[in-house]
Structure 1
């Protein structure tokens, strides 16, 4: 269903304004809907649902304004590569009410969900490089983007493969849903309530994320472990005792990590795991 708003006013970080017409709907989620901008293929606009605006519209408006003022400085990349769906303008209706934001268009035809490279079979189906060199490159590129975000005081919190897009040829990684980040500004912090259990640190399972940076570091480590271990999640394993949880969340809550240098008492590594080939320094980091 099309949004009743067809014209929006974009207001950039310098408070310059311009009117744009919305094109077709591209995607819709729990908080809002993303539209093409007519005549501007490099720009999309996310309009928040009316219920979202009613409940938390003021918080989102303040958060987007903060993002405009504090955009990360990303590592250099190839021309035309978007590594962050970062807002570059607030969107208002013709009456001046906040309704969403504009961001650069990410080319979904040149990218795949990062999940696709994690499992070799899936990578083959998508004709993606999945050799170890490619995986190390992807891990380094992702770490660079996360570091740039952290340098500005922001935290991703819900960092997971489905929120990341991989450029098939260049192996750069794009981070989506930037308006869901934990955003810091002087005197105020905008929380990121969304989390995903299998990428949430043990100390935050079913709890408030008290240390967002610690959570990002944990989630990044899980993704890098999966990249280097061909899809195996670091809390997958073979139970040695009957009381060991069989699900990832249960093992995470009890911090049952079976791939350490010293064996775990209750759970063994997967037989096909390559973790024993990692350098000891990397194993200590994990």
Structure 2
């Protein structure tokens, strides 16, 4: 029987175009509401999902996790008041994460981006997962289809109604999983009634990180000399991390791969910890148990440090790589195979875009002027030039760009090229706050918290941090928690 009318918080709504379909139901637009989508469950699924979704909404998970996680926001009912589904934020213009970590699709969907973008986006994905854990949920089924990425490297987690949550009386399990992301201790087990933990999520998270940093390679997809046809699930079950530096691991990585030694020591250690076994080392029978794996917040910190120390290749300006690597891995792989992961196609596209960007900036387009200023500031497609960055950001700020105003504050805060001046930085941040910039609220909160350029004032710091946190700024939330 087809439902003729749906209601959101008692208000009738009209479904628009179908955005997606799954085994449990379909996702639709709402006509005349560009920011909201709804999931309508199939008739035989709705009743069994109702109590879980109601609890998720009562817990205000959408507010706690912010826009990086598309949690249920409100109940959808039929004309009788019976549960049919839920509303959530609409996510359009994003791509499944595998279209970023697959080199072939990355060239098509993200042609301008180099390794810095991969590291940056990876951190955003990890932050989204950290927000879920902070909200008291376990994802359970982390996989490539449940994470969406924007052209700017923003991340949103979807399919959140499958997350595991405990209402104090009942645990609503995540009943599904994908083999390539499933932890060794769960391989071969029925997941229908299995209690998932954050440690299980952290295994899947490490798989995803390796995919993104390792050009789409699965960390367990290597060659076992004793069993060349060994299935991936068995490789995972046996803790055969193909890139491991441990002598007891017999697997070998595929040719022309990024190697573990290409990463900083802390990243290497985290991968070994995420994919290895404890108690007596690897493969001592009856002692194979997983480590306590690195958490999302640990990964964010380690990748942030790696991003700050990425080096530009002298032979190819499109190549950026970890400082810990003694030479450019992309040049090494190109020499071995002829494949350039960040090659001339992307370089030419970036050059063409730079010309268009300059033309728009010269025509006083504030968004273009801001983007051009940030390119000079970061050295993306051009040589770093802080004076040029300052010039274009000033132009953009004069024409109403809040992002440019914020970044001018950053320049004076950090003192790049023009001398550090915390008083001017504060004034730019205050102006950016008036223009609606969330990050400026956070930076002002930090300045008042630390007493940087101002007298230390925790009340003022809290005021700015709360404004940022209300708009989903996870770092602001974290600092507020620390201040509590």
TM above 0.5: yes
- Measure how far apart 1:84 and its partner are: 2.0
Note if contact 2:164-2:196 (Cα within 8 Å) is conserved in structure 1.
no
Note if contact 1:256-1:264 (Cα within 8 Å) is conserved in structure 2.
no
- State the alpha-carbon separation in 2 of the partners of residues 31 and 218 from structure 1: 26
From the two aligned structures, give the one with the greater helix fraction.
2
Partner of 2:254: 270
Cα deviation 1:100-140 (Å, max 9, x = unaligned)? 11111111xx2111001112222002234552211111111
Partner of 2:5: 7
Partner of 1:78: none
Query: RMSD across aligned C-alpha pairs, in angstroms?
Result: 1.8
SS of residue paired to 1:165: strand
User: CA 1:223–1:69 in structure 2 vs 1: closer, same or farther (change >3 Å)?
Assistant: same
- State the alpha-carbon separation in 2 of the partners of residues 269 and 230 from structure 1: 13
- Measure how far apart 1:176 and its partner are: 0.9
Cα deviation 1:128-183 (Å, max 9, x = unaligned)? 45522111111111111111110111011110111111001x20111110101111
SS of residue paired to 1:25: strand
In structure 2, stretches of 5+ residues that fail to align are 272-484
- State the alpha-carbon separation in 1 of the partners of residues 164 and 251 from structure 2: 34
Partner of 1:171: 153
Note if contact 1:27-1:33 (Cα within 8 Å) is conserved in structure 2.
yes
SS of residue paired to 1:45: strand
Note if contact 1:116-1:123 (Cα within 8 Å) is conserved in structure 2.
yes
From the two aligned structures, give the one with the greater strand fraction.
1
| Correspondence list, 1:124-273, <5 A | 124-168=107-151, 170-207=152-189, 208=191, 209-241=194-226, 243=227, 245-273=229-257
Note if contact 1:34-1:47 (Cα within 8 Å) is conserved in structure 2.
yes
Which has the bigger relative contact order, CA under 8 A and spacing at least 6? Answer: 1
Note if contact 2:40-2:84 (Cα within 8 Å) is conserved in structure 1.
yes
Residue 49 of structure 1: which of 42, 54, 71 is its match?
42
User: CA 1:120–1:263 in structure 2 vs 1: closer, same or farther (change >3 Å)?
Assistant: farther
Note if contact 1:257-1:264 (Cα within 8 Å) is conserved in structure 2.
no
- Measure how far apart 1:197 and its partner are: 0.4
TM norm structure 2: 0.52
In structure 1, stretches of 5+ residues that fail to align are 12-16, 76-81
- State the alpha-carbon separation in 1 of the partners of residues 21 and 216 from structure 2: 29
TM norm structure 1: 0.87
